[in-house]
Amino acid sequence: MNEESAKLDVELLGQIAQGDRVAFSRCYDRYSGILFSIVVKVLNDPKEAEDVLQEVFLQIWDKAGIYKRELGVPFSWFVTLTRNKAIDRLRSSQRRFRLLEELKEETAVLTNAGSTFMTDPENRESSVMVRSAVRSLPSDQRQAIELAFFGGLTQNEISESLGQPLGTVKARIRRGMLKLRDALEDHL
Amino acid sequence: MIDERTEEQASLYALGLLSEQEAREFERELRESEELRGFVAQLKRSADLLATSAPSVEPPPHLKQKLLDQIEQRMKIVPLKKAETLFAPAWFPWAMAACLAVLCAIFFSENKSARQRSARLRDELQELQKQTISLRGETDILQNQVAEFRSKDRLSQLRIAMLSSLLASSPKAVAVSVWDNEQQKGVLVVEHLASLPSDKDYQLWVIDSKYPSPVDAGVFTVDEKGAVRFQFQPKSRVNFEKIAVTLERKGGVAKPEGKMVLLGS
């Protein structure tokens, strides 16, 4: 995610706020893949993920006018919207516990599958860097962070799920997040 | 310099793991420290980039068109909203205030009306309760009247007969019989009747013209004062016409044989 990309996103949001469907279409092309991947990862249900992605983009259409640059780059806003909606959906379903088990397995062997997150080579490289950074985390730290990010679990739930004291979980998350930040420093 | 505890809070905040209360407190710290804001922004961006580590899955191709169609529908409504927004600053607050005032007036009126309805219903309920009590009283009266009528009806079934002495030896002897035709039972009360030797009984007869001879109603004796209260029941069902007492041998007879002592009708 570079500065040029963020600038383009801000422009697109401005146009969407004016009711520009072409801009909306471009925004969809840029982010539907990555956002859909997040939802599928959280819900583990492509059909339900469709509904959530639809809600996300309709919200982008409706709320583009109130987006504020100081709250972060558009990509962060999109991810937050998507993650919140997916986790809300997850919490209202009983698939949560099944997901926990799957996440534990997944974090043990992190996939190398490619992402369609943006099509330009620079962003592909960024995606590869992120994967590499995540892979470089010790498994206990990665597991705690992924349970929070993709599982939507609370601190206590993560502690319970991992069978570790709350203090240990917090410390793992802190160390993991600092490492992640350091590894992604060039992309922040 | 950010300490470890703050780093921990910042990491949890970036992942959305703080409770509402904790997040509010942390945001107060954020407002006071530019360094902390920069640190949190980096962590937040790192967390956002985690999204790109999810295995890639493409949304179905039809979804985009579906979304564009939905937006098309919304577009038909949007211009109206925009038009309203253009004029909003001038009169919108006053219109809102007027609407609120009207609504308040309606609610006040509705409330007053509801209270009046409630009071009216309460009065009606009290009236109905009074009527219920009154009806219960009337029912009691009617039931008493019915009982009375039944009693009167019962009395109408009773026959009272005065019996006179037919013996010169017992001129003062008197008797009264009360006969319940429905029950086919009666009571005979006698006074001043002559005492009897041990081999004799007085025998009571009910006379009904449909029978060829009087119907036996039992034997009795009197005390030393010549008195007795004797309950009797004829051997056959009778239509009471007359009643008579005869002097018979001990234990009575099937048909009258001795002297008639008392007679009444």
Q: What would the pLDDT profile of A91-131 be if each residue is shown by its tens digit?
A: 876 555 555 566 566 555 444 443 344 455 555 666 777 88
Beta bridge partners of B179: B159, B186
| CA dist., res. B129 & res. B111, Å (int) | 27
pLDDT tens per residue, range A120-175 = 555 566 677 788 888 889 999 999 999 999 888 889 999 998 999 999 999 999 99
* Mean pLDDT value across chain B: 82
What DSSP assignment string belongs to B210-231? TSSSPEEEEEE---TTS-EEEE
The answer to whether A89 touches A43, Cβ cutoff 8 Å, is yes
| CA dist., res. A53 & res. A34, Å (int) | 10
Report CB contact under 8 Å: B15, A145.
Answer: yes
| CA dist., res. A156 & res. B12, Å (int) | 12
CA A35 to centroid of chain Cα atoms: 7
Instruction: Note the helical H segments in chain A.
Output: 3-17, 21-43, 46-63, 74-91, 96-108, 121-136, 139-149, 155-162, 166-183
Q: Considering the entire predicted model, what is its pTM? A: 0.52
ipTM value greater than 0.90: no
| CA dist., res. A53 & res. A39, Å (int) | 7
Nearest to B55 among A37, A146, A178 (CB): A37
What are the chain B neighbours of A148 within 8 Å (beta carbons)? Answer: 15-17
Q: How many A/B residue pairs have CB atoms within 8 Å?
A: 152
What are the chain A neighbours of B55 within 8 Å (beta carbons)? Answer: 37, 40-41, 111, 113, 115
Question: Which range (B16-20, B150-154, B195-199, B253-257) has the least confidence?
Answer: B150-154
Terminus-to-terminus CA distance in chain B, angstroms? 133
